[in-house]
Structure formats: structure tokens, C-alpha cells
Structure 1
Amino acid sequence: MKKHLLSMQNVTLKSFQLLFHASPIMCIAFFMFEILFCLIPIFSAKAISQIVNIFSDLKNSELNDLMLIVVFYISMNIGMQVLLPIRNNVSEKLSDKIAKDSEMMFISKIASFHSIHCFENNEFYNEMQIARNGCGTRLISSLQMISSLLRGIITIILTAGYMLSIHWVIGTISLLAVIPNAFYNFWVSKNGVALFRSRAESSRKLSYLSSILSTPGYAKEVRLFDLGSNILKKYENLFDTEYSRINKVRGKQCLLGMISASVGAIANGAALVLFVIMAINSKTSAGDIVLYTSLLPQFIGGLQIIINGVAQTKDNNYYIKHFLDFLELDFGETNGTLTLPSQIKKIHNISVNHLSFCYPNAERYALKNINFTIDAPALVAVVGENGSGKSTLIKLLMRLFDPTNGEIKINDIPMKEYDILKLRKNMSGVFQDPARFSLTVRENLEFANVEHKIDDDDMWEACKKAGIKDFIKQTSKGLDTILDKQFEGGTELSGGQWQKISLARAFLSDASILFFDEASADLDPKAEYIFYQSVREYAKDKIAFYITHRLSGTKDADLIIVLKDGEIVEIGKHTELIKQNGEYSKLYHAQADGYRS
């Protein structure tokens, strides 16, 4: 897993580019509103101080000035109230757009991985979790922080200017008052990032334990074996372990926070006392007192916004950096440029040469020195005990993984030279544990060919071949029935019915190479018989591989590949292998004896 790491200096710039790209107009409008809402309170405070000064020494000649200032003050406040809903609306729309764009980038990156290599890697899951925390809300927070920093800078410049014009010592004291808080925030940010990173895996475990009790797929086992209290205990123990570790950090944060806040409060109090002494000695006006007391909180707030913003930006950038780095992840996947012919008559063979494969982080090879050639058309059975490498072989033939050694060829051309997406458009398959899309029957079947519309008649014909038509006909909405009871009008399918939906989808594809990985495992004997009849009919001009433990379905196979401990120990037709009296014969007769007894 290769990472193209961004420097922290580039993260803020890249974040701003993403924000601006989401909606340039709304982004500009948002920052304009932020600047405006920063200026209004300061100018309002100045207007109030002038009103107080005029009232303290009111003369008729100054009434016009007073009215102008009052009108100015009222206008600013009315304008602020009128513009506030508009500003909030722009902010919400921009936030939604950023959330959508970043989430689309995140899931598009995951969808772009051609192999499933990454899903065998624990480090990938940790990186993915941290990266997910860097998109959406973190980018929105980045927008808010950039605007806060801008607002803080403008606030400091204007308030400092006004306050220093009254007395430079007061401004200096107010500046020093926030320094302890700055160090505190930087410390919190640094430790917070390290703490979150260390919690990535435990957070995933907590989420998983919670899902066991809240996901329908676990409901039966949880109740049958009374697992509720056991899972809750595991969750509680893991949570308490994390909580204890976090609390130690929080305790230190609390102590340092109290100290920094106390120092700041004492310094601000000293500045205020100094100003009161000046007022008593008539060295400042009533308006200046009002202005100072109005601007001091804004000045302190502006400084804290900048200090907190810098610290939080560093914290925020950590997660955004992981998000941006995740978008650049490279698993070393290679892709060819050749287009696989769509017509099966142009595919004359598949050959596997000296193929070996080892899963990531595994110590032993799952497959070793696999060799065979299949000429079309052919129905190929792959058999063997559990763990012999059958499913791994199918994954390699689908190019969900690339071989560690050796190669696979299609039409005597290495598979790696074909464009992966175009190659897979000529493949279809049914798995023992097919994906259960909580969508309508129609949407599930449309996945067979997302680029072309599939007629209802073709869907019903595929469902008939798969043995699921009668069940769908009995539902209230037919092809528009949602296959999940969690949704209104939905229905629940058994494991065998899900396999039939998956089989119907395979029948609707234009694939020239078919894979069936224990596709009949959940079918009853009658349904299994229909399955084999349908597969043989559908695959009569194609190459079809099927894994099965039920060897009654291998008699009609054109070729049987027998695997043991990751190696091919036998290869041939049913009658040939029975005569050899080897591994296949042993497995076959063991099953047959079981049926006879």
C-alpha cells in the first residue's frame, strides 16, 4: 500500500481548493457575510460610544449628529437581522454541497480499487476510518475555521486600533492575557490527534459489537444462544478500557485549562482596573469607557479565535490530510488497454500457468503452482475440501487479486494486458454469500448490465430459470418489491432465495465467462437440480466455472479440477477420476455412502 503524503503546509491550501470547488459563488458569498458580520458589532460599539459622548455634553447643534449616529446604529442592526437568515442559508447549502462532494470523493476512491486486495489489509481499514473522519464535517469545519481566522484577524486589527488609541498599556495587557490559553490549546490539539489515532481500531470494534445487536443478520443467533448479555459485556469492557485511558488525558487537560483560564482572567481584570482608575481621574470619557467595555470582549474573543483556530486547524488538518492522502492511495494495481471481445466465439481459451498466490500478511501460500488450460465451450467443476483454495482460484480468475507468481491468460494474452472494467463486463458470477442489496427486485436484476435497460419480460424469464419467479409473482409489487423488511412494503428472503436472485442476475448478463462459487449451497435438492439444468443450458456456448461440495453435480462437467492444500492433485472428467481411485473418488464415494446409509 503506497501513500503519496501531502505536507501539512499544503493541506490548508488543498482544503480551500476543495471548498471553493464545491461552489465558488456560495464560497465567496459566505466569506463576504463573515466579514460583514465581523464589522457590524465593532462599528455598533463605536456608534454607541459616540452617542454616550454626545449625551454627556449635549448641545442643540449636535442633535443632527446624534440622529445620524442613531440612524446608522439602527440601520446596521436591522441589516444584521435581515442578512442573518440569508447568511445561515448560504452556510447550510455550502455545507451540504461540501459534505456531498467529499463523501462522493471518498466512496468513489474505494469503488476505484479494481481488486479486493485492500479489504484483506487491516491497516487499510484503520486508514479508511481516519480518512472518513477527514471528509464531510471536517472539511465543513475547515471552512468555518478559515472564516473564523479571517473574522478574528479583522476583529483584532480594528479593536486593537480603537483600544490603543485610548491607552496602549491596556491593549498590551489584553494581548498577554490570552498567551497561556494559546499554549493550552496547542497542547490539547497535539494530544487529541494522537489519542484519536490510537483509538481507530478500538472504535471499529465498538461499532461492530454494537451492530451485532442492531443488525437483522445477527438477530437469530443472538437470541438462540442468548448472546445479548455477552456482547454487551464485551462492549462495556472495551469501552471502559478506552474510557479509562481517555480520562487520564482529560484530567490533565482540565487542570491545565483551569490554570490558563485563571491567568487570563486575572490579566483581563488588571486591565479593567487600570481603565477604571483612568476614568476616575477624568483621563478618559464616558463614551470611551463604553467603547472599551464593548471592545475588550471582542478583542479577547478575536485573539482566542485566532489562537484556537490555529490549534484547531492543525488538529483538523491532521484528519483532512489523511482524507487527501487516502484519495492518493496506490495498491500497485496495473491495468491494461486491450478490449475483450464481447462475443464468446472469439474467446477460445483460458490458461493458468505456474500460478501461486499468498494473501497479504499470510505466511503460507493459498495456491501453489496451478496449471491448466480450458477451451471454450466448457463447464468446469472445481472441488476439494474446505481450505483447499477453491474460492481463491475463482477470485484470481476474476482478477479480484493478482497472482503472487505465474499468470493467467485469455486467448493466449496475459490477463493483465486487458482493461479490467471491460474484462469484467464479460464476466458474471454467483457467490455462496451473495450481496444482499436492500433494493427492489428490478434494481437487483438491473445490476446485471447497468449500461443497458433490461426489459421486464427478460427479467421474468431470468427469474423463471433461477426458480424465483413464482415467489416474486406472489408479492404485492412484483419486480418493484423491496427485498428488505426494514422498508415499507418490503419482503424478507431466505439464503436460497438470495442465491436465486443472484443467479437470475447472472442469466441477464452478457457475460462470456461465468463463475459459480457454491451457488447452490442454500438450495433444496429440487432447486439444485433446476440450477444445474439452467446453468448447463445458459453456459452451452460459454466457459463456466463452478465450485461445489455436492459432487452429484459434477458428473456432467466437461472438466473437474481437484484441489488439496492449494495444489491441483487431479484433473479430468468424472469417469476418469473415479477410475483413478484418488482424491476425487474418495470424496465422491464418501458422499455417496452418506446418502446410502
Structure 2
Amino acid sequence: MKNEKNTHGLLNNLKFMLHEQWVFEKKATVIPFIRILSDLAVALMGIWLPKVVLDAISQSIPVHVFLTQIGLLTVALMLLKYISYYSEQGVLKNAVRIWNVHFYIKKDWKILDMDYSIFTSPKGKILIEKAHDSLSRNVNVNMASFYPKLVELVRSVLGLLSFCAVIAFLNPIIILLLLISYGIDGLISLNIQKWEHSIKDKRATIDRKLYYVFDSTNNSSIAKDIRLYDMKSWINHAAKSFMNEKNTLEKQVETKHLLQRLFEAFLIFIRNGGGYIYLIWKMLHTDMTVGEFTLYFGAISGFGLWLHQIVRTINGLSNASCKVDDYRNLMDTKDKLMRSEGEQIPALNEPVEIVLENVRFHYEGSDQTIVDDINLTISKGERLAIVGVNGAGKTTLIKLICGLLEPVSGRVLMNGMDIRRFNREAYYSLITAAFQNVCVLPMSIAQNITFKDESDIDTEKLEKCVELANLKEKMDRLPKRYSTQLVPSVVDDGVNLSGGELQKLMLARALYKDAPLIILDEPTAALDPIAENQMYLRYSELTNNKTAIYISHRLSSTRFCDRIIFVEHGKIIETGTHDELLARGGKYKAMFDVQSQYYKDYIEEKAI
């Protein structure tokens, strides 16, 4: 995987987010700047109004003139506040919430669409976790807050400049002193932000551990194991351990923020106190009116508030920019496999030839070789069985053939063409597979098999595949048959299928796709002996006019295949037919003898 840079830069992120905002909703891009103008007017009127009131009192102007001035200013103030409220609450914040969902959907689509090898790699998992975090929190602090923070920064800077103009009439030196004070505070805050960004990988790693534990407690597939093996103690211990790890890290973050806030409070006391003392001295020694005193008093206080908002907003903008980096690092991740137009794929109605040339593979960050220099040719229409002990590399070998993983060295060919030269989706259309892990979605059984809209399903083909998978009897017992919904935890009228029934469903799904290369990874692991035998008897029909690869631990099933390879430590150590391997007396025969002994013992016990 391409080594992604950690940051795109604030200006680059600014350009990216402005473009995204403009494309997503133009109104929400423009209207916030109306709020800026109204807020500036409100702020200036806020320090001007007390001056008008006090000067009017001191100058004894007529009551009707005073009330007219105050009334007009009040109406203007209310109107401006409404414009500000509407632009912020009615437009910007609502747009940001929807915008956040927009980014979330794009992020999830990227995760679903990215190369499997990147998705499962350690770097890929960190990228995904950080991208999740960039959008999973409150919209006021995640990456969607970038544009509102930008608007807030522009507003605060213009407000600061406006108040600077007022204070300049009093004494420009005050502006310099206030800027130095807030500059120190801002530098400290930014350093804390940089440090916090530097530990994000560590945070993401801890969060992944916690989410794994939390997901385990809600995973119905392991609920039985948790109870029967009293795994609660381990889960609680792991959760406490990870929580302590997270708590320690978060305490370090909070301590830094607390110290920064204490120092900030000290600076506020010094600068505001100094400003007020100077104003009092000025009023006592010059002709400054009470109204002017109030105006400058409000300007100094407001100056501090604008500066504080600038520091806070830069802090928030910096944090949001880091979140944008995390999102973009995931979105910019380049797939290794061909996504543009590739070589012409083989015909879908003819079996294919698969050749592995000196294929080696190990997972990223690991020195352990999983597939070690394998050379293998699977002829067109051949039915090949891959056997071996757990961890021998069988499933990894299948993933390499499927193009889900890419060899570290060597290459995989289909009909003489390196599979990396095919378009990824086009290549996947050539493969149908039933893996050990069952994946069902909260939709009808028909849709779970075909992944098509009800109106687009070939009913005759569906029924044939269901019958071949030996699932027809189950369908006939269901009142809604193929329209029966699955995943009852999501769908109100959904049903659960047994482990064996789910495996049959996966087989029916593989058959319906009807690709020239069919891969069955332990397709009978959850089947009873009768159902398993029925599937074996139909094996020729299931794999008719296809190149078939079959993985199984049950060696009695391999006699239906044309050839068998025995894999150990990522190498092919034996190859031949069932009878040839038994006659050879090697590892295959030793494993077969062990398994067949159980069947013999079972038969003898039944006879007794």
C-alpha cells in the first residue's frame, strides 16, 4: 500500500472542504457570511449602545429623541440577531449535520470498495479507524466542523480588526500588549494540539481493542461460548485493561488542557486588569466622558473575547484539519489492483485454466511465509481438492487465486494472463465462491442468494440452484418461501437458519452466480452426514462445465475430485488422485487413516 502522508496542510484542506461544501450545498456556503456581517454589526452596537445611553443622560437630551434613538437601535439589534440566528441554526448547522452523513456514506463506501489486501492490512485498519473517528464524534468537533470553524475564524478576525480600530483611538500600545498576551496563549494551545495529533495512532489502536471487546459482547454467534466457557471474566479483564490504557492516555491529554486553561486564566487577569487600570487613570486625568469610558471598556473586553475566540477557533480548526487529514488519507488510498479498463476477460460460459508461478506470500509486517514458492496448474474443467492441516495456507492460497491478496513474488495466471492485468470487478465476475464465514443481509432469501431486485430474479434459475444446494425442502416449509426475510434482529418478521441451512444458502448463492471458476471452502463443515453425502453425489452436477477448487478437512470427500494437493507450511508436498495418494503412503494417507478410524469405531459401536 502506498505510504500515505500524515497531513495535506491547512490550506490544501481548506480548498478541499470549500469545494466539497460548494458541491454539496451552495446555499450553506454563502449564507454563513451574511451571519458574519450581522454579528459584526451586533458586536459594535453592543459597545456603542451603552455610550449612547450614558451620553444622552449626561447631556440631558429630550426624552422623545432618546427613546427614538434607543428604539431604532433596539429594533436593528433584534433584526440583526435574527439574521445571525437563522443563518447559523437554520442553515449552517442543519447543513453540517447532513454534510457529516454525506461524508460518512462516502467513507463507508470507500471501505467497502477498497482492495481486500489493504482492508485487512495493519496500516489499512489504522487508516479506517482514524477515518471512523474523524466523523464519529459530535459535528462540532469532528471534520464536518471545519467549514463552520472557518466561518467563525473569519468572523472573529473581522471583529478583532473592528475593535482594534476603536481601541486605536485610545492608545495603540494596548493593542500590541493584548496581542502578545493572546499570542503566547495561542502558541501553547497549538503545541498541545500538535501533541494530541501525534498520539492519534495510539488512540486508534486502543479504540480498536475496546471496540473488539464491545462487539464480542453483542455478537450472537459467540454468545453460547461466552456462557459455556465462562468467558465473562476474560472479557471483563480485557475491557478493564484496555479502559485503563485509554484512561491513562486521556488523563495525559486532559492534564495538558487543564494547565493551558489555568495559564489562560492568569493571562486574562493580567491583561484585563491592566486595561481597566489604564482606563481609570485616563478618565481621572483627561476629559474622557462616562460614555467614552464605557465604550473603550467594552472594546477592551470585546477585544479579549475576539482574540480568545480566534485562539479557540484556530485550535478547533487545527483539530478539524487533522480530522480532514484522517478522512482524506483513507479516501486517497490507492488500490493496487486494476480499476481502469483491463485486458479482455475469458468467456463466462467456459471453464478456465489457473496457473501459479513461484507464488510466495506473507502478510504485511510479518516475516512468517504463508505460501512458499508454489507452482501449480489447474486445467480447464479440472476439479481440484486442497487439503492439509489448519494453518497450512489453504485459504490464503484461495485468496491469492481470487485476487483478494497479491503475491509478494511470483504471479497468478488465468488462461495465460496475469490476473493483475484484468479489471478487478471484471475478474471477480469470473469467480463464484462459498467461504467458511457466512454473510447474510436483512433481506429476503431470494435476494440473499441473487443480490438482485425481486423483479430481476430469474425464478427458474433460483429454484434450480436451491434444489442443487439441497435447500428446497426448507423453502417449502416456510410460509413465504423465497420471500422470507433473514436476520430477525433487524427485520421484524425475519427468521434464523441453522448452520447447515446457511451453508446450503451460500452454496445456492455460488451456483446462482454461475461463474467459470467455482471455489468451495469447507462447504460441508456444518452439514450432517446425510446432507453431506447428498452434496457429494451431486458434486459433478454442481461443478459441471466449471473449473472447481475444493477445500476440505474431510478427506473422504476428496475422492470426487480429479486431483488432490496436500499443503503443509505453505508448500505442496503431495499431489495425485485419492487412490494414488493412499498408495503412496505419505502425509495424506496418514491423515486419512486417522479420520477413517473414527468412522470405523463409530460403525463398530453401532453394530454392538
TM-score of the two chains, using structure 1 as the length reference: 0.90
SS in 2 for 1:199: helix
Displacement, 1:213?
1.9
Deviations 1:110-165 (A, max 9, x none): 33433x32244323322322233334743222112101111111111112222333
Instruction: Tell me the distance in 2 between the aligned counterparts of 1:215 and 1:476.
Output: 28
**1:496 and 1:523 in contact (8 A); partners too:** yes
Instruction: Tell me the distance in 1 between the aligned counterparts of 2:584 and 2:592.
Output: 12
Change (3 A) 1:273 1:423: same
1:379 is matched with: 383
Instruction: Tell me the distance in 1 between the aligned counterparts of 2:94 and 2:252.
Output: 40
2:232 is matched with: 228
Larger deviation, residues 148-157 vs 246-255: 246-255
2:564 corresponds, among 545, 560, 566, to 560
Change (3 A) 1:562 1:248: closer
**1:39 and 1:155 in contact (8 A); partners too:** no
Change (3 A) 1:251 1:466: same
1:14 is matched with: 16
Q: Which amino acid aligns with 2:457?
A: I
Larger deviation, residues 550-559 vs 529-538: 529-538
Instruction: Tell me the distance in 2 between the aligned counterparts of 1:343 and 1:263.
Output: 74
Gaps of 5+ in 2: 602-608
Change (3 A) 1:54 1:73: same
The answer on 1:54 being equivalent to 2:18 is no
Map of 1:26-105 to 2, 5 A cutoff? Answer: 26-60=28-62, 63-64=64-65, 67-68=68-69, 70-81=71-82, 84-85=85-86, 87-105=88-106
SS in 2 for 1:133: helix
Instruction: Tell me the distance in 1 between the aligned counterparts of 2:30 and 2:538.
Output: 61
Displacement, 1:594?
1.6
1:337 is matched with: 342
The answer on 1:311 being equivalent to 2:315 is yes
Q: Which amino acid aligns with 1:105?
A: K
Deviations 1:391-440 (A, max 9, x none): 12211111111223332222222222222210111211001112243444
1:110 is matched with: 111
Map of 1:118-517 to 2, 5 A cutoff? Answer: 118-135=118-135, 137=139, 138-168=142-172, 170-279=174-283, 283-330=287-334, 332-334=336-338, 337-345=342-350, 347-447=351-451, 453-475=456-478, 477-487=480-490, 488-517=492-521
Gaps of 5+ in 1: none
**2:429 and 2:515 in contact (8 A); partners too:** yes
Change (3 A) 1:190 1:358: closer
Instruction: Tell me the distance in 2 between the aligned counterparts of 1:287 and 1:460.
Output: 89
Q: Which amino acid aligns with 1:427?
A: I
Q: Which amino acid aligns with 1:117?
A: S
Q: Which amino acid aligns with 1:89?
A: G
Change (3 A) 1:450 1:571: farther
Instruction: Tell me the distance in 2 between the aligned counterparts of 1:442 and 1:86.
Output: 48
Change (3 A) 1:80 1:544: same
**1:135 and 1:320 in contact (8 A); partners too:** no
Q: Which amino acid aligns with 2:342?
A: T
Displacement, 1:26?
1.7
**2:33 and 2:151 in contact (8 A); partners too:** yes
**2:383 and 2:563 in contact (8 A); partners too:** yes
Change (3 A) 1:460 1:32: farther
**1:23 and 1:97 in contact (8 A); partners too:** no
SS in 2 for 1:355: strand
Displacement, 1:205?
0.9
Change (3 A) 1:179 1:369: closer
SS in 1 for 2:406: coil
**2:352 and 2:546 in contact (8 A); partners too:** no
Displacement, 1:68?
4.8
Q: Which amino acid aligns with 1:486?
A: S
Displacement, 1:374?
2.8
Deviations 1:27-58 (A, max 9, x none): 11233334423432323442443244234323
Instruction: Tell me the distance in 2 between the aligned counterparts of 1:194 and 1:486.
Output: 40
Q: Which amino acid aligns with 2:348?
A: Q
Instruction: Tell me the distance in 2 between the aligned counterparts of 1:279 and 1:533.
Output: 104
TM-score of the two chains, using structure 2 as the length reference: 0.88
Instruction: Tell me the distance in 2 between the aligned counterparts of 1:2 and 1:228.
Output: 40
Instruction: Tell me the distance in 1 between the aligned counterparts of 2:442 and 2:106.
Output: 23
Number of positions where the alignment pairs a residue of Structure 1 with one of Structure 2: 593
SS in 2 for 1:19: helix
Q: Which amino acid aligns with 1:76?
A: L
**1:48 and 1:291 in contact (8 A); partners too:** yes
Instruction: Tell me the distance in 1 between the aligned counterparts of 2:267 and 2:353.
Output: 80
Displacement, 1:350?
2.4
Q: Which amino acid aligns with 1:20?
A: W
SS in 1 for 2:520: strand
Instruction: Tell me the distance in 2 between the aligned counterparts of 1:374 and 1:362.
Output: 29
SS in 1 for 2:134: coil
2:606 is matched with: none
Q: Which amino acid aligns with 1:99?
A: N
2:555 is matched with: 551
Deviations 1:521-557 (A, max 9, x none): 1111122223334443132111111101112222221
Displacement, 1:187?
3.1
Larger deviation, residues 104-113 vs 513-522: 104-113
Deviations 1:96-123 (A, max 9, x none): 3421332233233333433x32244323
Instruction: Tell me the distance in 2 between the aligned counterparts of 1:93 and 1:185.
Output: 29
Instruction: Tell me the distance in 1 between the aligned counterparts of 2:68 and 2:168.
Output: 28
Deviations 1:367-403 (A, max 9, x none): 2333333333232221222222211221111111122
Instruction: Tell me the distance in 2 between the aligned counterparts of 1:537 and 1:382.
Output: 20
Instruction: Tell me the distance in 2 between the aligned counterparts of 1:549 and 1:486.
Output: 33
Change (3 A) 1:39 1:501: farther
Larger deviation, residues 77-86 vs 317-326: 77-86
State percent identity of aligned pairs: 21
Displacement, 1:473?
5.0
Change (3 A) 1:224 1:311: same
**RMSD between aligned residues:** 2.9
SS in 1 for 2:355: strand
**1:177 and 1:265 in contact (8 A); partners too:** no
Instruction: Tell me the distance in 1 between the aligned counterparts of 2:479 and 2:306.
Output: 62
Q: Which amino acid aligns with 2:465?
A: A
Change (3 A) 1:274 1:474: farther
Change (3 A) 1:586 1:226: closer
Instruction: Tell me the distance in 1 between the aligned counterparts of 2:77 and 2:391.
Output: 75
Deviations 1:306-340 (A, max 9, x none): 12222333333233223222322246445671131
Instruction: Tell me the distance in 1 between the aligned counterparts of 2:590 and 2:423.
Output: 41
Displacement, 1:518?
0.7
